[in-house]
């Protein structure tokens, strides 16, 4: 019987705890991904800095990833309690726009450090990065110079990648190869396939396997070596610069139509583009801030590779073709 008792008291305690959290000051609710809210992500510092200036409570709700956030919004529709969605990237913005749940931010991105002009009425970028293959210099002396060389050299290095059905970098590589090979992308995958050690569910698994030396290279970001440089003082890791250029990922935030805190929401978006927020990004999210001059970046960031040409599909194009491209990929990779 005491099991039952324990369960009841436990549940009661949980309910009381939850009821307590309703405070009198206004609350701004932000849906984001949970690596943003985690102890090591930007979340805790962002919350502190914003709450110090807004006289409000900032509630960061961490969901699994961008796709999970967008689906949550679709399920909640107009009744969502989110005021802001932060953390989808440009391969999802077209679908987010199609939900009709977002409201124009009405702000200008003035001090943009993005390598391309930005004029989206609904979404504002807060950081960006480039996909790249990362390797350990001590184990791989001569990395491929281009994506074509990686794909076509049969004696080339082994790689670890992520699944485009479950992971953002995985989808990024799919788009990267599509950008470089166009309609011949499937052939490229067929040629690359023998050197793919495995295709993991998410970034963490692949990167973990890479650190255990399961393959020569791993699909990650050009900024990954910065983590090892800054947090571990380890300069063995580098991203290989590819001559075709690197596929770009831009992470954005947008405010919701149904928000009851629109003034606060705009204030947050403005704050997001300000120096306080932007300075937090490089060493917590390990990405390039979207509105911070490069002189303000940590010095280690200057050791990172310059991606040269940046590749990016229009978000409408991604939304239109994503399913077909993933199906084609599945077809080739399942042979």
Question: Smaller CB distance to another protein: residue 54 or 209?
Answer: 209
Give the shortest CB-111-to-another protein separation in angstroms. Answer: 27
Binding of residue 325 to another protein (CB under 8 A): no
* 115-123, 141-149, 203-211, 300-308 -> range binding another protein (CB under 8 A): 203-211
Question: Smaller CB distance to another protein: residue 43 or 241?
Answer: 43
Question: Smaller CB distance to another protein: residue 197 or 305?
Answer: 197
Binding of residue 172 to another protein (CB under 8 A): no
Give the shortest CB-293-to-another protein separation in angstroms. Answer: 26
Window 133-162: residues binding another protein (CB under 8 A)? 158
Counting residues that bind another protein (by CB under 8 A) gives 75
Backbone φ/ψ region at 106: left (φ over 0), alpha (ψ -120 to 50), beta: left
Binding of residue 330 to another protein (CB under 8 A): yes
Q: How far apart are CA 208 and CA 279, in angstroms?
A: 27
Window 290-319: residues binding another protein (CB under 8 A)? none
Binding of residue 196 to another protein (CB under 8 A): yes
Q: How far apart are CA 24 and CA 11, in angstroms?
A: 25
Binding of residue 18 to another protein (CB under 8 A): yes
Site string for another protein, 57-76 (x = CB under 8 A): --xxxxxx--xx-xx--xxx
Q: Please, what sign has the CA dihedral across residues 228, 194, 200, 282?
A: positive
Window 83-112: residues binding another protein (CB under 8 A)? 95, 98-101
Residue with tokens 């978000």: 315
Among 165, 262, 279, 321, binds another protein (CB under 8 A): 165
């Amino acid at each position: 019987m005491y099991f039952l008792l324990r369960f009841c008291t436990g549940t009661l305690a949980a309910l009381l705890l939850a009821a307590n959290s309703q405070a009198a000051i206004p609350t701004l609710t932000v849906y984001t991904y949970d690596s943003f809210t985690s102890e090591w992500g930007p979340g805790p510092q962002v919350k502190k800095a914003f709450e110090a200036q807004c006289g409000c409570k900032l509630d960061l709700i961490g969901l699994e990833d961008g796709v999970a956030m967008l689906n949550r919004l679709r399920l909640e529709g107009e009744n969502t309690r989110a005021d802001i969605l932060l953390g989808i990237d440009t391969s999802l913005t077209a679908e987010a726009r199609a939900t009709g749940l977002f409201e124009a931010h009405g702000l200008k991105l003035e001090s943009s450090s993005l390598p391309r002009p930005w004029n989206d009425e609904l979404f504002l970028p807060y950081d960006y990065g480039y996909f790249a293959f990362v390797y350990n210099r001590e184990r791989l002396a001569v990395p491929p110079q281009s994506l074509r060389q990686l794909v076509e050299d049969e004696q080339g290095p082994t790689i670890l990648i992520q699944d485009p059905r479950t992971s953002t970098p995985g989808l990024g590589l799919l788009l990267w190869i599509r950008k470089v090979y166009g309609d011949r992308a499937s052939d490229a995958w067929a040629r690359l396939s023998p050197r793919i050690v495995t295709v993991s569910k998410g970034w963490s698994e692949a990167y973990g396997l890479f650190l255990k030396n399961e393959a020569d290279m791993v699909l990650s970001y050009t900024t990954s070596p910065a983590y090892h440089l800054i947090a571990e003082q380890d300069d063995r890791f580098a991203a290989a610069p590819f001559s075709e250029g690197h596929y770009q990922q831009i992470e954005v935030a947008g405010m919701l139509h149904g928000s009851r805190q629109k003034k606060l929401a705009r204030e947050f978006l403005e704050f997001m583009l300000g120096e306080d927020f932007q300075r937090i990004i490089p060493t917590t999210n390990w990405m390039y801030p979207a509105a911070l001059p490069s002189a303000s970046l940590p010095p280690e960031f200057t050791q990172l590779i310059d991606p040269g040409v940046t590749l990016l599909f229009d978000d409408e194009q991604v939304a239109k073709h994503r399913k077909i491209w993933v199906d084609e990929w599945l077809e080739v990779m399942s042979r």
